[in-house]
A and B are shown apart, each in its own frame.
Chain A
């Protein structure tokens, strides 16, 4: 006898423990199977792009902190690169090295958060998350030494950074890098070989690389499908052309591959920081105020600069009308664009995989809604 059933629409979020903020989905279930998903955005929309039109180029740095609040340094870096491109500012070398160190530390912190929350979404009651967050605390302590702030850093300025690292930063950084390597080893020991994690994440939410490219998805998600695309390598900005690192790729393109790529990338970031420490040169951390005034007035025109953020290509598009504030600022938010294939990933899957897939995308609502 066939029992007549009908799909059920369930509202998940914005108040839900696993939506990484205030994301909302209307999900249609047939039993445990997902029939349809409709994402609903905008619960954290703060109009950053509009706000930027009324602020000077230096003030906007603080706005970028609050977009993807787990990788502020990378946001700063992308924005500063766009300003430098727009205004034709030549950055001072020591400032560039310092911001590369800061950006790579931030990338590790962001990947640790992503891994921790992925395992949390898998149902581990906090232990791996707290292990990951504990290490992130160490990185935040380093940021505190650099600029006095922990999360909303605002460390970068057009032309470099706003202050040099204190002397005690360098030994602390060495210790911190050892700690990071140890933590990554620890996480890998506990997580990579874990049968439950492996069976839950292997083969779920598989996406072909062609589709990922077509949907503009970049970053660890694209590299987990075996596409060798890393802007640090393909279109080097700052001094990444003086750095050698390995691009970590995985062909499976499932949730496990995304997790694996993030863990391995954190290791590569440690190597990059070590090379930066070797190559950093003494000098001023930013050009003098004669060269780069406090109120920058870039020539009329536009510029787009993109970096390899922790979640994918993070780009800033700035239009100048010659004034002290940008005429228009647009953020190419990788978190939002990486969600394009959410329906493809979820439909046909199980309810249990919904938030795991969500966690493996590694989105940040501050960046999705801006």
Chain B
């Protein structure tokens, strides 16, 4: 049976090697400061006590006043899982966070998907483009304030083919 890192325990362990990076923790979740995500993930992957070598899932949730990027990590050697979260775009400003593609390549398409559908920019992503929708699609559909106007989608198709060329 796999072990699930509890939030406070993981927060303590993270603080040990990256002080000042944890915002809060509860249950099984740890909230990290967005600017420290790279350093923490690098440590979680390489340090002997964690060895989170597989990024299970990367996604984001729109909480109206802010976005939350959610990382589900798995450690194959330790058979353990952990959940990292990070609040970005507080006050619904331009949301961006550092990319973890250089740590886990599995984040490549998942970060593109989050950018495409949720509109969170991943700094340092090597191929930061939309993945499901075409370039020039208006808005990011998984945001809560996205309104589906079918007409507006149709009207942008000429631009889209130009961008896709």
Interface residues, chain A, CB within 8 Å of chain B? 41-42, 45, 47, 49-50, 211, 213-218, 227, 229, 234-236, 241, 301-302, 304, 306, 313, 315, 317, 319, 327-328, 330, 332, 336-337, 339-341, 369-370
Contacts and interface: CB of A to CB of B under 8 A. Distances in A.
Contact of A42 (B70, B107, B133): B133
Chain B: interface size category: 20 to 34
A46 B133 CA distance: 10
Given A45-B133, A304-B72, A369-B132, 18 more contacts: A42-B131, A42-B134, A50-B142, A213-B53, A214-B104, A216-B107, A217-B106, A234-B2, A234-B79, A302-B61, A302-B70, A330-B57, A330-B70, A332-B59, A336-B113, A337-B110, A340-B109, A341-B105
Given A313-B56, A315-B57, A327-B61, A216 B131 contact: no
A260 to B, nearest CB: 22
A218 B72 CA distance: 14
Interface in B72-93: 72, 76, 79, 81, 83
Contacts of A49: 117, 142
A234 B76 CA distance: 9
B106 A45 contact: no
Contacts of A236: 1
Contacts of B79: 234-235
Contacts of B109: 336-337, 339-340
Nearest to A228: B76
Contact of A304 (B57, B132, B141): B57
Interface in B23-48: 27
A340 B106 contact: yes
Contact of B106 (A216, A227, A317): A216
A315 B117 contact: no
Contacts of A241: 1
A241 B61 CA distance: 33
From A50, A213, A234, A370, residue with most partner B Cβ within 10 Å: A213
A324 to B, nearest CB: 17
Nearest to B74: A313
A319 B76 contact: no
A232 B64 CA distance: 37
A234 B83 CA distance: 18
A294 B11 CA distance: 38
A193 to B, nearest CB: 33
15 contacts: A50-B141, A50-B142, A213-B54, A216-B107, A234-B2, A235-B2, A306-B56, A313-B56, A317-B70, A319-B61, A332-B59, A332-B72, A337-B106, A340-B105, A340-B108
